[in-house]
Structure 1
């Protein structure tokens, strides 16, 4: 397959891809909104017991982790059934579940009710996060998958920016209820579009033996089916495939890689306003740091994904983890506000932006029969780190640990993430028509052969 074949797609494919990218991106914008909006209301909950009850710092950290426990349950549940029932059904169910739970959270009057609803919201978030990467991997052209995946998952930090902006525009009293009620908007504005415009994956249909439906949908959407084979009873599907000899070790390492990225993502989004507040910055400035963190992730994540398409995501992810470690350590130097904001933006690239790349790496690492399970494992097991993030941050804050030491602890997690990434084995997806791309070099076999021939002729 030559490079032009990799690059050129039909008009039908392009139109279908635009709808898929738009729908999945907006979905993850609201997921990111949910991720950050809790961090914006934590200071208000701590100061005003009349909202949901008297809340200690440790309890605030636990409340932050409940949604992440739900995300883990939702992601793993989606992975358990996603490779069996399809991507579209999971996306639709996730949007409904998430929106309803988010809206109900705005009416909570006790810590218990709020915690239960945060857990239920997380289930919907987990299903959506775990499925979006599988959708992108099966609809996007191979040489642009990392860029499209970064666009979609950049919806998460965009949602974080949206949450921080809305928190700046509303303050005091019951304004937090408005913030949570806004999170139910997908039920009204996104679900109808999804029902009309989001197709099932033709590659998934073919892999599950629905050949005629796959061909009909391929003709209508312009998605090439290629050589994907039907999944037989002898071929392991979903989580069973992850335990096979081919995927067992990589699955463990990819899970640890995601765990590191999500610990940093959730710890910083939950506790950065409070940590910077303890450093002498008021509420408005503290929320500006959240804007810088997520804004840096949006811009940096897309730029890094372009590099990932050229050189392979594994190298880029290792580099961004290292970048996060250095930026977090430099935050301890007591620099001027402008420099601190710049470093927080760089930390956003190395934490939230890195997690964007991780999802793309994982989605393209697995074949169709294991893709939803692989991404779900990454999102679900990784949430152990996400659950630990608010808890670790809460423990550090409640113990009176200085912001400097907290940043050093987070930098250590980033270093661990870089080391784990280095040991993930190379994997070529030779079983699919558009695969065979080495996930470290980023080249297809034909491209690698041309490079080798050119080097040999020198």
Structure 2
């Protein structure tokens, strides 16, 4: 009976620790999603009102949208270079403080140059967070459910996007674009102190660095079991860590996952930046066009939670490819003249096949590689992929500025989704996930 009680207490501690880690990580990513969409909710204001930050045309709007993504690229890649050395917890806490400050500074800018600099600064923190979160969650999630727990965590991105779109509909006319960016600074006084007290370091990471005493202490606090091969002795994983080990030992899958992530993020950022403007040009009013963002990101929340169950069973590569194909079909269907209700349903499926697919890609990257290079792998996926994120707003802006029809723009995006499916299918099967 005593042993059963001890096992029950350990299981309770484990559930509580995982709940805190996943909950904090998901809320943190909600603000990444908020940052993703908040610019899309205010870009039409900038295009039509030069008194805000100066004159902005579609090409400049696309460029401004890309500054934050350039920051994400740099922040994610830098976090990958040092995250496997300094730890998951330290990187995540630093990221929360960094991007909160960036959002606050952005709210006080008055010209396009300063706006762009502040968006880049914010992106550095967002990138560091994206480059670390999946690694932390994967190292605490129970075996056989790692993709599912990552899907729950990364559902925070579209939830944050939903929040941004919803708040824009309700509050933009009252608080203006500056108020929208001030909301993005809330983690500084909420999430940051909570994570400091409630988020432990990764046990698996501590073990991989040979810091077994610290790993045992946290394992005792959280109920997380030490890896069996390290239970008695501190033995570091063989092979180099960080980017050196990633590119030396896993070059082909690393390149393919990076290209796939970049393709997915072109779709994510193109649609989240330009969908409201496209819908305005299609004849919908301002609030009606923002509602498409709500539906797009609603699909991105629910779809991956279902798809992740299959990913844990049959493997994430096939599921990612299938979701890209869903995105292809949905974007193609948007070129048709359809009733509004059906159009909204299709937009939801487009959310599954774009932002939802990206959620699964992060889970694939986190679970494909061993602990010694996992942080670098997730950072590479988030960082290199942001080349596509940078290109998304730019491509959308250039296509609109070139006078292409809405149908032609959507055909381009559907072709990119098809390329993403092909890349997913040629990634070699993993023999190293843990």
Q: TM-score range by the shorter chain?
A: over 0.9
Q: State the 1:211 CA deviation.
A: 1.0
Partner of 2:185: 184
CA contact (8 A) 1:167 1:179 kept: yes
Per the TM alignment, residue 227 of structure 1 is displaced from its structure 2 partner at its CA by 3.6
- The CA distance in 2 between the partners of 1:234 and 1:322, in whole Å, is 38
8 Å Cα contact 2:172-2:180 kept in structure 1: no
- Secondary structure at 1:143 match in 2: coil
Residue number in structure 2 paired with 1:119: 120
Aligned counterparts of 1:261 and 1:234: Cα–Cα separation in 2: 33
Correspondence for 1:422: 425
- Check the 8 A contact 1:137/1:363 in 2, yes or no: yes
Matches of 2:208 and 2:313, distance apart in 1: 29
Normalised to the residue count of structure 1, the TM-score between the two structures is: 0.90
Aligned to 2:243: 239
Runs of 4+ in 1 over 2 A off after TM superposition: 170-174, 227-235
Matches within 5 A, 1:143-154: 143-154=144-155
Q: What secondary structure is seen at the aligned counterpart in 2 of 1:280? A: coil
Residue 395 (structure 2) aligns with: 392
> Following the alignment from structure 1 to structure 2, what is the Cα–Cα distance between the partners of residues 30 and 336?
33
Per the TM alignment, residue 323 of structure 1 is displaced from its structure 2 partner at its CA by 0.6
Give the whole-Å Cα distance in 2 for the aligned partners of 1:148 and 1:15: 14
* Residue 3 of structure 2: aligned partner: none
Alignment of 1:332-371 (within 5 A): 332-371=335-374
Q: In 1, Cα distance between the equivalents of 2:238 and 2:130?
A: 29
Shift in Å at residue 170 of structure 1? Answer: 2.3
Could you tell me how far 1:228 is from its partner in structure 2? Answer: 5.5
Equivalent residue for 2:259, pick from 256, 261, 278: 256
Distance 1:315 1:234, change over 3 A: closer
Report what 1:129 is aligned to.
Answer: 130
Deviation for aligned residue 1:142: 1.6
Q: Which runs of 5+ in 2 are unaligned?
A: 1-9
Alignment of 1:2-13 (within 5 A): 10-13=11-14
Residue 214 of structure 1 corresponds to which residue in structure 2? 215
CA distance in 2, matches of 1:116, 1:43: 20
Query: Separation in 2 of the partners of 1:37 and 1:172?
Result: 14
Shift of 1:202: 1.0
Contact 1:51 1:174 in 2 (8 A): no
Q: What residue ranges of structure 1 are gaps of 5+ in the alignment?
A: 1-8, 436-458
Q: Does structure 2 conserve the Cα–Cα contact (< 8 Å) formed by 1:44 and 1:172?
A: no
Paired with 2:199 and 2:264, the residues of 1 have a C-alpha distance of 29
Does structure 2 retain, via aligned residues, the 8 Å contact 1:207–1:228?
no
SS at match of 1:209: coil
Measure, in 2, the Cα distance between the counterparts of 1:334 and 1:257.
30
TM-score in terms of structure 2 length:
0.95
